[in-house]
Structure 1
Amino acid sequence: MLLAVDIGNTKIKAAVFEDNALVEKFSFPQEEAVTQVAEILKKYPRATKSILSSVGKEQNELLLWLKNNTLFTGINHTSVFPFTNKYATPATLGIDRMVLAAGAVLQHPGKNRLVIDAGTCITYDFVSGADDYLGGAISPGLQLRYNAMHTFTAKLPLLYPEMPQSFTGNSTAQSMHVGAVNGLLHEIDGFVQQYVEQYQDVTVILTGGDADFLAKRLKNTIFANSNFLLESLNHLYHYTNRND
């Protein structure tokens, strides 16, 4: 069994895999990292292997614990990936984006793939059918849009995502929901349409914490999978160990 760990900007997500089957998923604050991981491995003593990627702050204590207690694989820019990285500044490309691109290649071979990660920020990552990573886009995530409206104005309240009932808001709160949610939905649909127009056949994968919230309202055909990054880590572990 394998323990996959994703250190994000706000939380740590982890999952235990049996081959390619996700057995159980976990989410916990960064300050509880070692305690929570130790509990997971106590529950699943056969999870003797681990893989970790991080875009959050360094978790040196957790890294040391995993190295001492599991067969550890850390993902960084020098790791083996199943695509050719054509990003103009490859050293600045987020590890989470690279893992998602790898998962798209390994799970959807031979396709043009667009991976949309709806988390703290929205990231768009495109990998061609020839397995060339070409780049994408970064924009504010859903809650960031609400936070910005509250922080940078004098009177707008701090709200949390709520699906608007109409495209015309009839109150300040509803107008903010329309702007934040519908604005993001139109953004995603617009990006997808641009890629479809240029590349025709595109497999679109939507993941991240807001994936399920957004998926049903999008016009384009997508694969919505909030666990895609953890699954991608699992696939990348097997790929990395086959190609060492």
Structure 2
Amino acid sequence: MTNLTIYQQAVREMYEAIAGVDTVETCKIQYNAVIEGKTSTHEADVYWEFTDGDLTYKAVIQAKEQASLAELFVFLRMLRDIPGQVMGVIVTQPVYQKDIKDMAANAGILLYELTQPITGEIWEPVVSNVKVSVDKVWVKQAKEQAGLDDEPIQVSVEPKYSFIYDEAGNCLDTVQGIFDQYGKQQQASGRQTIVHTFAAPTFLQTNHALVPFIKLDNITFDVELVNVNQWAGVDMAADILESTVRYFGK
């Protein structure tokens, strides 16, 4: 395979990501596609046809080093020759000319402007399947002392704002800090299940005035190294889907 430009690579990643889209039904997805128009056939980097159950939409995706007015006119003629509700997508470098942006917006052409290369691999730890286990006996006693029955004790859902304290009331860390501790130790791809226990009594801050802390038992979660550049295609595919549906007024 010849070396791809960053724009062609982005289109390739879109194509690969579309296979994982489950919010709509994909009717057809083609790479290096040949599309039958009303008057002639057309070539495109990617052709995506999908339905939301009520309407069928089509997206024609092209990689271009530069999106000029001339390029837009040629692309627009293609789009108008393809029957149905067709959205055009051009993956290109940043566009600064207002007339080009205006024409693209009015014609139903999404300009996907890349400001930097997305090629290469950037590996970062990703945490999932988080379960915070508390000392149920301790929590029950604390609720009884506060005069509470089955009222739930709310805690922060944001790991970086979930503060952890020792028995003396000193802040030790956050839940995010625990995630980061194991993420830095992760050396290879592959999911690992972590059960983080506490050697001394440890407490999680709550949002409840009468029970400001609850005693922790352990925190269980999965951590794996993921190439975050793989997410670019997922984000772009989702953006195309949303833009297409919005443009056609649904």
> Which TM-score applies when normalising by structure 2?
0.29
> Which TM-score applies when normalising by structure 1?
0.30
> As a proportion of its length, which structure holds more helix?
1
- 1 or 2 for the larger relative contact order (CA 8 Å, sep ≥6)? 2
> As a proportion of its length, which structure holds more strand?
2
